[in-house]
Structure 1
Amino acid sequence: MQLTKFGHACVRISDGDRRLAIDPGVFTDVAQALADIDAVLITHEHPDHIDVDKLAAAAGQNPALRVWAPKSVADQLAGNEVLSERVTAVGPGQSFVAGGLQVRTYGGQHALIHSSIPVISNVGYLVGDAVYHPGDSYVVPNAIVEAVLVPINAPWSKLAEAMDFTVSVRAARAFQIHDGLLNDIGRGLYESQLGRIGEFHGVTRFQHLDAGESVDL
């Protein structure tokens, strides 16, 4: 299985001719991320996780492309001429096949940003019983995970939470996502601490991935 990191929170997961992409948002080169992709998973409705116009453009060029997303996102896409019939609403506790890969869902709610901001739906995805993408949450799946994608910076998070999440999932490997708001200095600080805590507990090896970089799992 191969994991490819794109901008911010977007990744592509492939295993031979089975492949899917997660969260192609506005900080991502969506056309590149969705090249030869028939299955797209969306964790929630925020634009840094879904660029509706570019997703619709990709779907217009690929009649086979299908999308799985929380009901709130599916409802928003119901009025889109291209995507309205391509979206399947999903929630936590489900299992399905997307792009030939087995997917299980977790969570249900976006992490709290502030009491004045309503909490929205958020679905985390465990792909191929190997790679876990939590979206904008630190919900820990009740499953063995080979590789965890760790949101390292967000308006709703702090570093201590990212570190606790990494330790709690206890995956053998961890990679950063949700880093689009960081410069190189900030990214290095966050990642050094995640690497340190993984090494301290002797379970998780943290590895930085540049945009467009792939790693075999």
Structure 2
Amino acid sequence: MHLTHYGHACVLVDTGAARLLFDPGAFSAGFESLDGLDAILVTHQHADHVVAGTLQDLLRRNPDAALVTDGQTAGQLDGIDARTAAPGDRLTLGGAEVAVVGTGDHAEIHSAIPIVANNGYLVDGALLHPGDAYVPPGVDDLTTLLLPTGAPWLKISEAVDYLRTVAPRTVVPIHEQTLADPAMHYRFFENLRPDATTMLVPDRGVAVGL
């Protein structure tokens, strides 16, 4: 399996049997010319995770790619056809098996702000993109966790506690573009991670093996 981080929540996962692109949103770049995608998966409706115009361009380049979103997001995509999914669903995308996980809700930003839908995606039981929520995937030996690092809804202690609870073999920090100095948060992860977890911070746009 190979992973390419395009900044913030946007990640390309190549399992060898499928090419899956997650959350091509407004805070990410470098993914726009990708082709050969089997699926584009969107965790939720916020603009840092999906932009309708960008999505339309990607789908024109990848006409055979499935687009998977939660039901709320699908209704906000300017008529783009999407396959809707919710926690508990299992999807076959290319040669990958993707389980939709989580509670179905985005983490609370503030009690005065409505909570939107959120899907976590577990690829081949090995790699988790949780979207914007810290819900353990129910996997005892997760290979790779994509860990949201900075956002209005989180604080560093919650990120560390989630990392320790999930205890993946490898953690890859994502969702960092809201921070002035993401490296400061990465140091917390490095110092407080489980002993058996390795932290990997890929250069943007560079594929790395997992």
Q: What's the TM-score bracket when you normalise by the shorter of the two chains?
A: over 0.9
TM-score relative to the length of structure 2: 0.94
Counterpart residue number, 2:209: 216
Counterpart residue number, 1:151: 148
Q: Paired residue for 1:130, among 106, 121, 126?
A: 126
Counterpart residue number, 2:68: 68
Aligned residues: 207
**Counterpart amino acid of 2:123?**
V
1:7-18 matched pairs, under 5 angstroms: 7-18=7-18
Counterpart residue number, 2:185: 190
Q: CA RMSD in A?
A: 1.3
Alpha-carbon deviation of 1:61?
A: 3.1
Q: 1:35 to 1:27 in 2, by over 3 A?
A: farther
| TM superposition outliers: structure 1 runs of 4+ over 6 Å | none
Alpha-carbon deviation of 1:60?
A: 2.2
Instruction: Give 5+ residue unaligned stretches, structure 2.
Output: none
Alpha-carbon deviation of 1:27?
A: 1.4
CA contact (8 A) 1:152 1:178 kept: yes
Deviations 1:138-157 (A, max 9, x none): 11110131000110000000
Alpha-carbon deviation of 1:16?
A: 2.5
Q: Aligned equivalents of 1:145 and 1:17: distance in 2?
A: 19
TM-score relative to the length of structure 1: 0.91
Counterpart residue number, 1:46: 46
Counterpart residue number, 1:95: 90
Counterpart residue number, 2:24: 24
Alpha-carbon deviation of 1:17?
A: 4.7
| Larger strand percent | 1
Counterpart residue number, 2:162: 165
Alpha-carbon deviation of 1:13?
A: 0.6
Percent identity between the aligned chains? 36
Instruction: Give 5+ residue unaligned stretches, structure 1.
Output: none
**Counterpart amino acid of 2:144?**
A
Deviations 1:14-68 (A, max 9, x none): 1225211110001122414x43213111000001001110111121233212211
Counterpart residue number, 1:175: 172
CA contact (8 A) 1:176 1:209 kept: no
| Larger helix percent | 1
Q: Secondary structure at the match of 1:165?
A: helix
